[in-house]
Structure 1
């Protein structure tokens, strides 16, 4: 029989979609506005940044005037040496005009020279000294301005990270059901870092260029209003270029970071399931999926960079065009005697300092657009719907909590179009153990998730000691529940810290007692540092040992309600028996919900609930359900096929033994 095999290329395409070229980003203006409001919160630092930037610009604007003055002094000395002493400047100019050198006479009329005198070295030295001090002051103010701006950016990013951390704790569990974990991690790490770099590079180096544009423009009008107006001719063209290219680049940056999140999601899955990938020989397919996603990311990055990189050459062209116009018209004005050479020198410096910020801002456009794209992805998390808030005036539980739990006509659906639990009712008395069994997808784990309010009910209610859990604060409700899951979770820290995760004030003796109750003390003491051993990935503990630590964690919290979701699935048979004995002691006087597939672990449960398709199909003790010969008996026979089950089934059907 032939089997149709899916090609690796198609599998890769399905795993990481090839990015399409988007028409537009969602709302860049709104994102920029929100980001500016966040930055504006650092008013004190921004005020200091602006003040030092203004001083730096003013000093920078004074520099060309001083250098122009120095040029005029040199030019005056060079011209003065060409004429005999004893005459005046006016006489020299008049003589040149009378000799028919009118243009030269008009030019010399603007130069403050003294016939027979050379360069005034004292005045030139003072002027150059003042220029040096001015430029040093401008540089120092620019340094302080950049330091303050960087401090403001880091505080904004710090607050943004804190907001995301708080937001992650407020979103419902369903949010992580609908979003790939790798993409969420990419937003919290890569996008935050990219935004931090973008803000740091732009805000710290953006203020002075913006003020420089204003300051240099004012100085240009001071020197020559005509040349200043000519320089402004290119300003509308520059703005038009920025807008047109920016509209093309921004959606591509958004797609670049979206594709980065997709690729990170694939990497996270492959690294987490590395052993499974190798066990099934899927290394080549995983590499092909990565290669396809990596190529797609490179393509989108190239498109974004190509779109924004066209901005700087266009701005350089406009800057050079402005320079040519200023040089030509300035030369004509010198010939007409309206300006000095020093004036033109100063004006050309101002013109360069006016156009350079425009070119610089254009070169930063790509980084700004990339940062805005990351900010947009970050704000998507911050705008995600949150779990329903706790009541403004929540109820409280009487102490001690007895642990009586009742499900009353509970209805719940993950998706409105897909029914799961409909009108389910169940009661668990204090000190009783309720075992929940059934096929995969029957709704067993969903039931305890509803008890912990990981999801909100569509209808009905769940009560704890007669109090509707929807009226209780979530922290209070969850403090009453100890949970041991099939999938263990331990954080990077010592074994003692992991056991005390739910009881921060626990003493070392209490931690050791809990480990002994969970039969974990023996293997812990064999480790080099004992309870102070640091947990490092999979190199220290086996899966079964990790599960023993999570069971010890549940022992230490001393909860009123226990939830055990296949809590002994990763331990050997002997340890499982010991843990069952320990659990029996722990369950004394407490309500326990045990989700199990191995029916041997729940024989002694007070109530066994058999679920299928979100409904309770049978309920009773082990013996009564086995005698009933229904769904539970069939599950039991499928697992054990023992003589006891056969006898019960024969009695029910009337067939001879």
Structure 2
């Protein structure tokens, strides 16, 4: 059952500063009302100057002193109103600064506690949108939306109240265009949904055609079929243009009528026409029409502003939903001090380990094996069999849904993170370097390392000479003056692992991104570094792991075979079939990790 009492995403995000926003909105609205007092004063002075006392109920004094008092009250109200608006804006901006500060800290603290595997399922753009772009969108909401809405509502309320107070009959006629605006606006919002669906369909077709066109350029050029490729793309572009025209035609017409209804000239025309009739009937004097001519057209701009603000609220709602989603990301539960365990030795055991992203995505089922100290264990199998997931479980990127993994007899879930990664290092296929110097990237897990220790690690990873060739050597910044190839980035990752000097090492396709020259350098670096360590190696190329102490064959999320290279060949099972097909893994459906 849906909980209808659940507050909306914007209400949830703005809860800590709700009181400040209410105050800022009221101050802005009241201040705007006071700034409009001079308009009433102008109409009153005009009546006094013309000797017509029709508006003297506004300020019942003698004409000689009334003008001075009217001017004084108008100026005082103007400055008080501007001060209230200023205080309201300041209150909103201070509340916004507090909220943005809290959200940025909260999202960073949340991400520090989520499983490392969470990041492998998301692009940096997705995380950046929630942490930066969406919070900037919420800044516009908190710092500007509510005070702007308060000012607009203040203008509308005080104007309508003032006009009704002067003459309710004339006020109703002067305000007559505004209901028409809402009727045309509702008509625009209730347009046929078919053109909208057609536009979405054609836009999807254009996206697909664009991808096909761009990715297929080498083929169409090689086979001389550019005319057909261009024709398909051009047809998709034309279809989008036609669908857009069908969608926006009625919408633009209705919106144009709505805006025409509350154009200042329209409202002024209604006021003058109605005023002429009222004067002719003797119900009002010409000077009594002046306040309506001054105030009624002034309602148009704030009403349009209010409409625009409410329309833009949709994007803020989406931003709030994404920020809340980020703040509610499941985390690895902290380990109570009383439950923390310390590894004794470096033996790794998998006990009936299973893992599933959800009930429909079982990735690993009942895996049990042991990584003996100072041995090499290799994992092979088709793509999607769960090889990388198994390695990520050892690194505690995720926690098993069933079973457990122990290091030196201690459950990984009971080992403090910094202690865990002093025992287990890794070099993965997908290398993540931060926007910092090469030195800082190598020393990421050991910030207190000396320059000599960093350089020694780089030498061991066969990357020292390449770093010295950079414009500023070890001080060169990744992404600025340090442009590195995939293989060179992998060697930076190896140097990072060397510096930590862990007794257990996980290698997941560590040479996959390297060219032939870099692969040789990487293999040499890894061979030297692996000496005397416990290794878990994932590889598609069987000839690179044939000398492993144990080989695990995964298929359909299960370990179907295990043993040495010779033992597995003698069994003539799945491993032997893979070896007979050239020593390479058979590619099947890619392992999909849902976001």
Q: Do they fold alike, i.e. is TM over 0.5?
A: yes
Q: Tell me: CA distance 1:629–1:319, structure 2 relative to 1, closer, same or farther (3 Å).
A: closer
Residue 528 in structure 1 maps to residue 471 in structure 2 = yes
Would you say 1:438 and 2:381 are equivalent positions?
yes
- Number of the residue aligned with 2:9: 34
Cα deviations across residues 221-270 of structure 1 (Å, max 9, x unaligned)? Answer: 43234444555666666556555645669999999999999999999x99
Which residue number in structure 1 is paired with residue 368 of structure 2? 425
Match of 2:40 in 1: 65
CA pair 239-596 structure 1, distance change in 2 beyond 3 A: same
Q: By how many angstroms is 1:530 displaced?
A: 1.2
Are the aligned partners of 2:381 and 2:540 in contact in 1 as well (CA < 8 Å)?
Answer: yes
Q: Deviations over 1:124-175 (max 9, x none)?
A: 6775576566556645654564455455456555655655556666666787
Which position in structure 2 is the counterpart of 1:348?
A: 293
Determine the structure 2 residue equivalent to 1:18: none
Per the TM alignment, residue 217 of structure 1 is displaced from its structure 2 partner at its CA by 2.7
Q: Deviations over 1:261-307 (max 9, x none)?
A: 9999999x99xxx9x87766799879977995998599679958974
Q: How far off its partner does 1:72 sit?
A: 1.8
> Which structure 2 residues correspond to residues 503-542 of structure 1 after superposition, within 5 A?
503-536=446-479, 540-542=483-485
Deviation at 1:402, TM superposition (A): 2.2
| Aligned mate of 2:312, from 335, 358, 367 | 367
| Count of aligned positions | 566
Question: Any stretches of 5+ residues in structure 1 without a counterpart?
Answer: 1-26, 77-107, 113-119, 642-657
CA shift in 2, pair 1:218/1:502, >3 Å: same
Change (3 A) 1:230 1:196: same
> TM-score scaled to structure 1, two decimals?
0.68
* Alignment partner, residue 410 of structure 1: 353
Pair 1:584 & 2:530 matched: yes
Residue 503 of structure 1 aligns to a residue in which SS?
coil
1:49 Cα offset (Å): 2.7
Tell me, in whole angstroms, the C-alpha distance in 2 between the residues paired with 1:479 and 1:302.
Answer: 63
Aligned to 1:484: 427
Q: Greater CA deviation, 359-368 or 626-635?
A: 626-635
Partner Cα separation in structure 2 for residue 251 and residue 159 of structure 1: 43
Contact kept in structure 2, 1:31 and 1:375, CA below 8 Å? no
**Alignment partner for residue 340 of structure 2, among 396, 411, 415?**
396
Which whole-Å deviations, capped at 9, do the CAs of 1:376-425 have from their partners, x for residues lacking one? 763684487635645667732215x5232212223344564566533321
**2:2 maps to 1:56:** no
Question: Residues 356 and 417 from structure 1, CA distance in 2 versus in 1: closer, same or farther, beyond 3 angstroms?
Answer: closer
By how many angstroms is 1:529 displaced? 1.4
Matched, 1:544 2:487: yes
How far is 1:39 from its partner?
Answer: 3.7
Task: From the superposition, tell whether residues 638 and 258 of structure 1 become closer, same or farther in structure 2 (CA, over 3 Å).
Answer: closer
1:566 equivalent among 509, 512, 533? 509
Change (3 A) 1:479 1:577: closer
Is 1:222 the counterpart of 2:162? The answer is no
Contact 2:279 2:285 in 1 (8 A): yes
Contact in 1 for aligned 2:29/2:152 (Cα 8 Å): no
Name the structure 1 match of 2:588.
Answer: none
* Secondary structure, counterpart of 1:440 in structure 2: coil
Corresponding residue SS for 1:49:
helix
State the superposition RMSD in angstroms.
Answer: 5.1
Work out the CA distance in 2 between the residues paired with 1:376 and 1:167: 16
Give the alignment's TM-score, normalised by structure 2. Answer: 0.75
Quick check: 2:107–2:327 contact (8 Å CA) kept in 1?
no
Closer, same or farther: CA 493–172 of 1 in aligned 2, 3 Å: closer
CA distance in 2, matches of 1:254, 1:32: 30
In structure 2, the CA distance between the partners of 1:435 and 1:292, relative to structure 1 (3 Å rule), is: same
- 2:443 is equivalent to residue 468 of structure 1: no
Q: Describe the shift of the 1:153–1:279 C-alpha distance in structure 2 as closer, same or farther (beyond 3 A).
A: farther
Cα shift at 1:474: 5.9
Q: Aligned pair in 2 of structure 1 residues 178, 483: CA closer, same or farther (>3 Å)?
A: closer
Distance, in Å, in 1 between the alignment partners of 2:5 and 2:221 is 44
Q: Give the Å deviation of 1:563.
A: 0.6
Residue 550 of structure 1 deviates from its aligned partner by 0.6
Match of 1:19 in 2: none
Residue in 1 that maps onto 2:59: none
Alpha-carbon separation, structure 2, partners of 1:521 and 1:223: 85
User: Contact 2:375–2:534 (CA<8 Å) still a contact in 1?
Assistant: yes
1:360 and 1:635 mapped to 2: Cα distance? 68
Call closer, same or farther: CA 1:295–1:554 in 2, change over 3 Å. Answer: farther
8 A contact 1:488–1:546 mirrored in 2:
yes
* CA distance, structure 2, for counterparts of residue 165 and residue 363 of structure 1: 33
CA spacing shift, 1:345–1:464, aligned 2, 3 Å? same
> What aligned pairs does 1:6-405 form with structure 2 within 5 A after superposition?
33-39=8-14, 41-43=16-18, 45-46=20-21, 49-50=24-25, 52-76=27-51, 110=54, 131=74, 135=78, 138=81, 141-142=84-85, 145-146=88-89, 148-149=91-92, 152-153=95-96, 156=99, 159-160=102-103, 197=140, 202-228=145-171, 245-246=188-189, 303=247, 307=251, 310-311=254-255, 313-314=257-258, 316-317=260-261, 326-327=271-272, 330-331=275-276, 341-372=286-317, 374-375=318-319, 378=322, 381-382=325-326, 386=330, 389-390=333-334, 395-398=339-342, 401-405=344-348
Q: Is the 8 A contact 2:351 2:367 kept in 1?
A: yes
